[in-house]
Every structure is written in structure tokens, then in C-alpha cells.
Structure 1
Amino acid sequence: MMPSFFIAHGAPSLVVEDHAYTDFLKNFAAHIPKPKAIVLFSAHWEQSIQTVSAVESYSTIYDFRGFQEELYRMTYPAAGDRLLSGQIQSLFTKHGIPCVMDGERGLDHGAWAVLKLIYPDADIPVVALSVNRYLTNEQQYEIGKALSALREQDVLIIGSGGTVHNLRQVKRNSAGIEDWAVTFDNWLQNKLETWDVEALFQYDKLAPYAQEAIPTNEHFIPLLLAMGAGDANRRAELLHRSYQWGNLSLSCWQFN
């Protein structure tokens, strides 16, 4: 069965950076079977109702400002998979999750910057999915869980976000890592490895430095979605964790 993954996407510049995390992502595909398709939840596609992309091929969205000019020339012309989109719609309906289809939107940088490092040839069909910050954490988990059957079909499920993602706190010239960011991530690691969903669903009240790490929850939601997709076996493994700019967490979790 294909694992599901949470992958931090950092800043848009991740795709042109050179460090331990980008090396990890460039070697990621060598350690799992080649998927038949990729289903990806991006923190940068927010909708009030669960939305499923149903496009023939994707345009590239440049949803950022002030970064290197070369980023605005990059493309990731992945194909969609409308049959898979329809299957996802059916799974959501079966589990009582309202959803709509979208036949126009391209891939935002939360999707294409990560995918370009992992699968640079853009030769695997992609179905992009939105996130909704106004649902409960339990509901987020259930959305991921509803798609868990896709893993048996060699479909790769990815949640793209960030566990410590507070752009007001980053220090671009910092060489060190701030203790509060590590403390939050260590708490998170313990709860994920023990699959303590009760604590995770209340992370904003229980985790140390939760407000500093996650001032708004849209980047944390993809972690719960990917975790929910791994509910059947409930095994979590931290594959990589590093930091940049003092506290921006770059991590990858595997759920199988």
C-alpha cells in the first residue's frame, strides 16, 4: 500500500535552493514505488467547501511576490486525471463530505514547487484538493481518512504545508534555530509517533508555543489530512526535519 505523506513546502524559493531538505526531496521518489497518480492538498488553495480539481492539464500559478525572477518563468505542466477526480468525489459523497469540482484552477506554489523537486518531469497525473481552515481538526482528519482507499491503487496522497510556519517570526539572516520552534516540533513528533489524535486535535490548546508556530491553521491542516489517510495502520515516521530562517520548519512525515 502506498504511504501518505506530509511535505513542508517552505517558501516559493525552495525549488531553487540547495540544502539538506532540497536534497532529500530530490531523492524522495527513489524510495517509493512510482505512483499512478498524485492527490495533493495545498495550504495555498483555500475554499469554504471541499474542492476537487478536474482539469485536463494544469497551468502554473505564481501566488507570491518579491522572489527570484526565475521562479516566475517556471512551469509544471502536469496532467489532471478526471476519472480519479470523479472517484474522489464519490468517496467524499460516500463519507458525507460535501464537495464541488473545479475545472479551471492551476497548481499553486504549495503544489508545484514541491512536485518539481520530487517529480521534475511532470509525468504523473495530479489531482489538487483544497483546504478549509474553518473545519474542526477532527473533520480534517476524516477528509483524509475518506481517501485512504486510494492508497491501495498506488495513488500518492500528499499534504503540503508547514508545521512551524509563521512568516512574521522568520529571521532571514539567522544561522541558529530558535528553541520555541524545536519545542513545538518535538511535542508534535511525540503525538504523531504515538498517534495521539486526541492531543493533536487540541494542539492549539495543548502544544507549547502553538500560537507562535501556527498563528493561522491553513498550513497545519495538510498534516492532519495526510495523517487521516494513514488511519488504517496508524504508523507515523519522521523522514526529515530541518529549519531555515531561524524557525521555518522543513519536514516530511510518512504515514503507513
Structure 2
Amino acid sequence: MIPSYFFAHGAPSIVLEQNAYTDFLKHFAETIPKPKAIVLFSAHWEQSIQTISAVETYSTIYDFSGFQNELYQLTYPAKGEHSISEQIVSLFAKHGIQSALDEERGLDHGAWAVLKLIYPDADIPVVALSANRNLTNEQQYQIGKALSELREQDVLIIGSGGTVHNLRRLNWQGESNDEWAESFDNWLQNKLEAWDVNALFNYRELAPYAGEAVPTSEHFIPLLLAMGVGDKNRQARLIHRSYQFGNLSLSCWQFN
């Protein structure tokens, strides 16, 4: 059974970079069996109803500006997998979660930038799922939990976002990590490893520097979604941590 994962997607340009994090992502596929499909929640697809992609072949969305021209030439033409999209609709319905299919939207950079580094050939079907910042943290967790049985079918479930993601606080020349970002990530590591869901659901009130680390919740939500998938065994493991621009966290988590 493949664990679920949370991956930080960092800046869109990460797909062109060579550093410790991109090396980690490029070798990640060697650490797990090849999945028959990938189900991915992206921080960059927000909908008021839980939405599930059901496309034949994905277009590539360039939902950013001001980056290298080369970035806009990259594509990730993964196939969809309609049978899994329909299965997800059924799983959500069984757990009282309203959902809808989307047959048109392509993959945003929160999805394709990470996938291009892990599976560059785009040869594994993908089902993209939206996020909704208006739900409670417990509801996010329950959405992930509803999908847990997909892991028994060799489906890789990913949440793509960032634990510390405050673009206004980035230090573009920063060569050392900001203490406030590390403090938040350290608190988060302690609570994830202890599977302290009560603390995690109330991280805004309890975690140090939560307001600075998570000024808006859309990038944090995929962590709770991926964690919920692992509710049965409740084992969390930090598999990578580094930072860009002083405080943009590139933390990655595995949930067994």
C-alpha cells in the first residue's frame, strides 16, 4: 500500500532548478512502487464544491507571471483516469461530501511542477482535486480520510502546497533560513509526528508565528488532506525540509 504524501511546490521556477530539493524529487519515484494513477490536491485550484477532474488529456496552465521564458514552454500532457474520478465521486458521496466533475481544466503549476520532477514522462494517469479554504481543518482531514481505500489500489495520493508560504515575507537574497519559519515548521513536525490532530486543527491559535507562516490557508490545506488519507495507521514522517528565499518552506511529509 502506497503512503500518501505532502509535497511543497515552492516557486514555479523550481522545475528548472538544480538543488537539494529538486534532487530529492527527481529520485523520489525510486522509493515507491510505480502507481497505477496519481490523485493530487493542489493549493492552486480552489472551488466552493469539492471538484474532481475528469479530462482525457491535461493542458498545462501557466498560472504565474514574470518567470523565465523557458518555463512557459514546458508542458505536462498527462492522461486522466475517468474510472478513478467516478470512484472518488462515490467515495465522497458515501462520506456525505458533495462533489462535482470537471472535464475541462488543465493542471496548474502546483500540480505539474511537482509531477514533472517526479514523473517527467507524464506516463501515469492523474486525477486533480480542488481545495476549499472555507471548510474547517477537521473537514479537510475528513476529505482526505474518505479517499484512504484508494491506496489499496496502488493509487498515489498527493497534497501539493507549502507549510510556510508568505510571499510578502520572502527574502530574495536570503542565504540563511528565517528563525520564525523554522519555529513554525518545528512545531508542526512535533504535532504531525505525534498525530495530534486537535493541535493541528487549531494551529492558528497554538502554533508559533502561525500568522506569518500561513497568512492564507490554501497552501496549508493540502497537508491536512494528505494527512487524513493516512488516518488508519497514523504514522507521519518528515522526508525532506529545506527553504527558498529565507522562509518559503520546502517541507515534504509521508503518511503511512
**Band the TM-score falls in, shorter-chain normalisation:** over 0.9
| Secondary structure of the structure 2 residue equivalent to 1:72 | helix
Q: Which amino acid aligns with 1:154?
A: D
The Cα of 1:173 is off from its aligned counterpart by 0.6
The Cα of 1:171 is off from its aligned counterpart by 0.6
| Secondary structure of the structure 2 residue equivalent to 1:114 | helix
- Residue matched to 1:103: 103
Spell out, residue by residue over 1:126-175, the C-alpha distance to the aligned partner (whole angstroms, 9 max, x if none): 00000000000000000000000000000000000000000000011111
- Residue matched to 1:148: 148
| Secondary structure of the structure 1 residue equivalent to 2:188 | helix
Instruction: Report the Cα distance in structure 1 between the residues aligned to 2:200 and 2:61, rounded to whole angstroms.
Output: 32
Instruction: Report the Cα distance in structure 1 between the residues aligned to 2:212 and 2:161, rounded to whole angstroms.
Output: 16
The Cα of 1:251 is off from its aligned counterpart by 1.3
The percent of aligned pairs where both chains have the same amino acid is 77
| Secondary structure of the structure 1 residue equivalent to 2:43 | strand
- Residue matched to 2:160: 160
How many residue pairs get aligned? The number is 256
Spell out, residue by residue over 1:17-76, the C-alpha distance to the aligned partner (whole angstroms, 9 max, x if none): 111000000000000000000000000000000000000110000000000100100000
Counterparts of 1:114-129 in structure 2, within 5 Å, are: 114-129=114-129
- Residue matched to 1:178: 178
Instruction: Report the Cα distance in structure 1 between the residues aligned to 2:11 and 2:47, rounded to whole angstroms.
Output: 21
Instruction: Report the Cα distance in structure 1 between the residues aligned to 2:90 and 2:167, rounded to whole angstroms.
Output: 37
- Residue matched to 2:91: 91
- Residue matched to 2:13: 13
Instruction: Report the Cα distance in structure 1 between the residues aligned to 2:213 and 2:238, rounded to whole angstroms.
Output: 18
Instruction: Report the Cα distance in structure 2 between the residues aligned to 1:123 and 1:83, rounded to whole angstroms.
Output: 17
Instruction: Report the Cα distance in structure 1 between the residues aligned to 2:205 and 2:100, rounded to whole angstroms.
Output: 32
- Residue matched to 1:79: 79
Instruction: Report the Cα distance in structure 2 between the residues aligned to 1:202 and 1:28, rounded to whole angstroms.
Output: 31
Counterparts of 1:1-256 in structure 2, within 5 Å, are: 1-256=1-256
Instruction: Report the Cα distance in structure 1 between the residues aligned to 2:69 and 2:89, rounded to whole angstroms.
Output: 37
Q: What do you get for the CA RMSD once the two structures are aligned?
A: 0.3
Instruction: Report the Cα distance in structure 1 between the residues aligned to 2:187 and 2:109, rounded to whole angstroms.
Output: 28
| Secondary structure of the structure 2 residue equivalent to 1:238 | strand
Runs of 4+ in 1 over 3 A off after TM superposition: none
| Secondary structure of the structure 1 residue equivalent to 2:241 | strand
**Unmatched tracts of structure 1, length 5 or more:** none
**Unmatched tracts of structure 2, length 5 or more:** none
Instruction: Report the Cα distance in structure 2 between the residues aligned to 1:251 and 1:28, rounded to whole angstroms.
Output: 14
Instruction: Report the Cα distance in structure 2 between the residues aligned to 1:218 and 1:123, rounded to whole angstroms.
Output: 28
The Cα of 1:244 is off from its aligned counterpart by 1.1
| Secondary structure of the structure 2 residue equivalent to 1:168 | helix
